Structure 1
Amino acid sequence: MKKIKSFKEELLVKSREAMLCAVQIFNNPNMKFKSESFIVLSNIAWMYLLHAYYKGNKVEYRYYKENNGIRRYDKTKKGAFKCWELERCLDDSACPIDPVAKSNLKFLIGLRHEIEHQMSRRVDDYLSARFQACCLNYNTHIKTMFGESYSIDKYLSFSLQFSTIDEDHATQLRQFTDLPKNISSYINAFDESLTDEEYNDIRYSYRVLYVPKLVNHKGQADKVIEFIKADSPEAASLNQEYVVIKEKEKRKYLPTDIWKEMQNQGYSKFGSHQHTMLWKGLNAKVAGKNYGILVAKQWYWYDTWLKEVQKHCLESGELYR
């Protein structure tokens, strides 16, 4: 006789299937709707995972109104209970998800709202690192909450690529040049709301150093991805390359960030108008001066410009104090 699964078990089965479907669709080279599908399905996977957790821990995750100690549950027109959506699950005090993994999920939830009613185009290339983090976070948390037997890592493998990543391609990916304005603005705004520590955490965005491997003997490069010890000579060499790459990824400032930073440094009379007059007077947005960059019709300043503004304020003496 077939054993009847508990409702919690059914939720876990649905959760795992949804996440595996999300990964399968994203890794399918014939699919043209990858990011949208991944976001929706992974959202469902996490939601069912938390429903199963709350069910097992006797946390009421159904919407209801209470009057004189009597609960009246919200229901659909067909009589089904209305349960918490993922964002409500994440906001509950009983949520077991760590803060950085929550940030990753809330980023994806907000992104889903932005692309819900329009084509997203090339989002796949820009955000795969955050999708990868979402998968790894899911696998970690389902094992932590329900045990190793529920892990999904045994079903997953690395997807194969038909192109290499060169420096021009990497630069293009960082600039969001061909994304719709609402999506690029959303990405930049969300990233700016995070601390540097949160932004660089692999639970938020799983980034890897991509270096072609050259070998002298057969059998040395059989694995597409190889993990090495942090204290090995190979790691020391890669760390030097990583520093070079990090230096190329310049920090970006909004115009308000620049003049507010000057005010924080004591130049209270240096505001938006003074800043605008300065960059116009120095023609600072001309290509080649390396003071900033235009991303989806929004100008961002680099550290080089911030230092130039600091120098100007210092030389102006008490003018801005």
Structure 2
Amino acid sequence: MSRYDKVDSAYKFLKGKEVSQDSFSLDELAKATGWETGTCKTYVSKRWFQYVHKDQKDFKVSGVAYLSKKEFRAIHSQKLTQLEDQSEQGKLIKKAKEFALLAVSTYNNPFTHFKTHGFIVDLVIAYTALFHAIFEKRGIEYFYKKKDGTPKLIDGQKKAWELTACIKEYWGSINTAEKANLELLIGLRNKIEHRSLPELDLMVAGYCQSSLSNFEEILINEFGDNHSLMANLAIAMQLTRTATAAQEDALKKFQAGNYKVVRDYIEQYNHALPDDIAKSQKYRLNVYLIPNIEKNKNKADLAVTFVKAEDLTADELAAYEQGIALIKGLESPYKYRPGQVVEQVKKVHPNFNMTRHTDAWKKHKARPARPKKEHKNEYCGYVSGFDGYLYSQKWVDLLIAEIK
């Protein structure tokens, strides 16, 4: 009798359950393998935790079907105290987590001058490894192939999909805030790759924070809570005496000419997004970081509270206005394309159309008939990144009120 007989029985049992997508109990596993139920419980939680997950009272399998019998034996033979997954999937998860933490370390390091540059580069690697791990679990081929079907090779290694291809496979044609956030950062990386723009950091901090939160959420949803990064992270320390002056100086530099390409890119990208995505915290995190005055000093281990803007009442929001004056100053008033203006007005006046909109801007002289890049007023402005005119909320409000 081979020492792997019971292990091989477990492999056959788990693989079958995954193929049939059926859940199973520990008693069923014990009956199929010959182990005691208590032993099965230990193996499920300590040796196979990457592949076996709790499903209400029972368990479900994910990823065992793509392991060979030899790979499953190797995973099972690890010491109970050794929780690291040595499969290709496990190695990719480890790589993804380490580069995500490296991205945070780069961003939070006070001696790092180009925070955003380093953060995006490391996070792109982290996301790419994470998606490759997910595709490993799902049995999806994530390598480029030649016309004859053989793998493309780079330095003798199979050429794997880059992040853009991974995004297309993972989300497909579905538009989500997480997808929009990641595509923005990829484009931003391409824009700043050969530019020295350290003052960019403050302006894109919300996008960077959302991308990190989204990364961890995908990681946990796909591979379980034990992969959470929170245990390794802490809030970066702030030097508040100089923060305001430094932020104002950074804002002035951001408005300078050498930042135009990046400003136009972000502005154009944001304007093209649906409102629900553009305002999502998963696209760009907007929070207040305020002191938490704890009455019981023994409970106040970390006297800081994150407050989501969307959760505040009107009075609470007004109370924090000074705290976000600088950030709000970056928001362009020109948000709507002509078609979006028509859609907004039609919600109140169903007969409104593009012809009436054209008549309206001519009547109010909201914009010139021909493109003038310097044109800006309270209703309409020429946006370089968009290469055309966009309209403000004031313009939408005027049309609705005038028609009424």
What band does the TM-score fall into relative to the shorter chain? Answer: 0.7 to 0.9
Q: Are 1:191 and 2:280 an aligned pair?
A: no
Q: Are 1:20 and 2:101 an aligned pair?
A: yes
Q: Are 1:87 and 2:168 an aligned pair?
A: no
For 1:117 and 1:286, how far apart are their aligned partners in 2? 31
Letter in 2 for 1:72: T
Q: Report which stretch shifted further, 39-48 or 159-168.
A: 159-168
What is the CA deviation profile of residues 242-301 of structure 1, one whole-angstrom value per residue up to 9, with x for unaligned ones? 68979x6766227964997598354265498x4896557xxxx999x8667898899876
For 1:217 and 1:279, how far apart are their aligned partners in 2? 59
Question: In the alignment, which residue of structure 1 is the partner of 2:356?
Answer: 267
Residue 170 to residue 222, structure 1, CA distance change in 2 (3 Å) = farther
Secondary structure in structure 2 of the residue aligned to 1:122: helix
Letter in 2 for 1:74: K
What is the CA deviation profile of residues 28-74 of structure 1, one whole-angstrom value per residue up to 9, with x for unaligned ones? 0001121111101100000001101101211000001354xxx2111
Tell me the percent identity: 25
Letter in 2 for 1:19: A
Q: Tell me the TM-score normalized by structure 2.
A: 0.60
Question: In the alignment, which residue of structure 2 is the partner of 1:43?
Answer: 124
For 1:255 and 1:198, how far apart are their aligned partners in 2? 14
For 1:227 and 1:79, how far apart are their aligned partners in 2? 48
Higher relative contact order (CA 8 A, sep 6+): 1
Tell whether the 8 Å contact from 1:43 to 1:109 is kept in structure 2 after alignment. yes
Tell whether the 8 Å contact from 2:107 to 2:116 is kept in structure 1 after alignment. yes
Question: In the alignment, which residue of structure 2 is the partner of 1:137?
Answer: 214
For 1:276 and 1:253, how far apart are their aligned partners in 2? 17
Gaps of 5+ in 1: 315-321
Q: Are 1:147 and 2:224 an aligned pair?
A: yes
Q: Report which stretch shifted further, 202-211 or 15-24.
A: 202-211
Letter in 2 for 1:90: I
Deviation at 1:225, TM superposition (A): 1.9
Residue 148 to residue 307, structure 1, CA distance change in 2 (3 Å) = closer
Q: Are 1:241 and 2:331 an aligned pair?
A: no
Tell whether the 8 Å contact from 1:228 to 1:235 is kept in structure 2 after alignment. no
Letter in 2 for 1:303: Q
For 1:258 and 1:55, how far apart are their aligned partners in 2? 43
The structure 2 residue matched to 1:11, chosen from 78, 92, 95, is: 92
Secondary structure in structure 1 of the residue aligned to 2:150: strand
Question: In the alignment, which residue of structure 2 is the partner of 1:319?
Answer: none
Tell whether the 8 Å contact from 2:375 to 2:382 is kept in structure 1 after alignment. no
Deviation at 1:140, TM superposition (A): 1.2
Q: Tell me the TM-score normalized by structure 1.
A: 0.74
For 1:309 and 1:239, how far apart are their aligned partners in 2? 28
For 1:229 and 1:188, how far apart are their aligned partners in 2? 23
Question: In the alignment, which residue of structure 1 is the partner of 2:255?
Answer: 177
Tell whether the 8 Å contact from 1:103 to 1:204 is kept in structure 2 after alignment. yes
CA RMSD of aligned residues (A): 4.7
Question: In the alignment, which residue of structure 2 is the partner of 1:318?
Answer: none
What is the CA deviation profile of residues 122-151 of structure 1, one whole-angstrom value per residue up to 9, with x for unaligned ones? 111011111111111111111111111211
The structure 1 residue matched to 2:111, chosen from 30, 36, 39, is: 30
Deviation at 1:89, TM superposition (A): 0.4
Letter in 2 for 1:185: D
For 1:80 and 1:171, how far apart are their aligned partners in 2? 47
What is the CA deviation profile of residues 82-140 of structure 1, one whole-angstrom value per residue up to 9, with x for unaligned ones? 10001100101577x98221111111111111111222231110111111111111111
For 1:127 and 1:108, how far apart are their aligned partners in 2? 9
Residue 174 to residue 90, structure 1, CA distance change in 2 (3 Å) = farther
Q: Are 1:204 and 2:283 an aligned pair?
A: yes
Deviation at 1:9, TM superposition (A): 1.2
Q: Report which stretch shifted further, 300-309 or 155-164.
A: 300-309
Deviation at 1:19, TM superposition (A): 0.6
Secondary structure in structure 2 of the residue aligned to 1:226: strand
Secondary structure in structure 1 of the residue aligned to 2:157: coil
Letter in 1 for 2:281: I
Letter in 1 for 2:151: Y
Deviation at 1:168, TM superposition (A): 11
Secondary structure in structure 1 of the residue aligned to 2:305: coil
Q: Report which stretch shifted further, 260-269 or 205-214.
A: 260-269
For 1:58 and 1:277, how far apart are their aligned partners in 2? 59
Tell whether the 8 Å contact from 2:97 to 2:126 is kept in structure 1 after alignment. yes
Question: In the alignment, which residue of structure 2 is the partner of 1:104?
Answer: 181
Secondary structure in structure 2 of the residue aligned to 1:180: helix
Question: In the alignment, which residue of structure 1 is the partner of 2:70?
Answer: none
Letter in 2 for 1:193: A
For 2:151 and 2:108, how far apart are their aligned partners in 1? 40
Structure number, greater radius of gyration: 2
**Count of residue correspondences:** 301
What is the CA deviation profile of residues 170-219 of structure 1, one whole-angstrom value per residue up to 9, with x for unaligned ones? 89859952461110011011111111211121111111024456789977
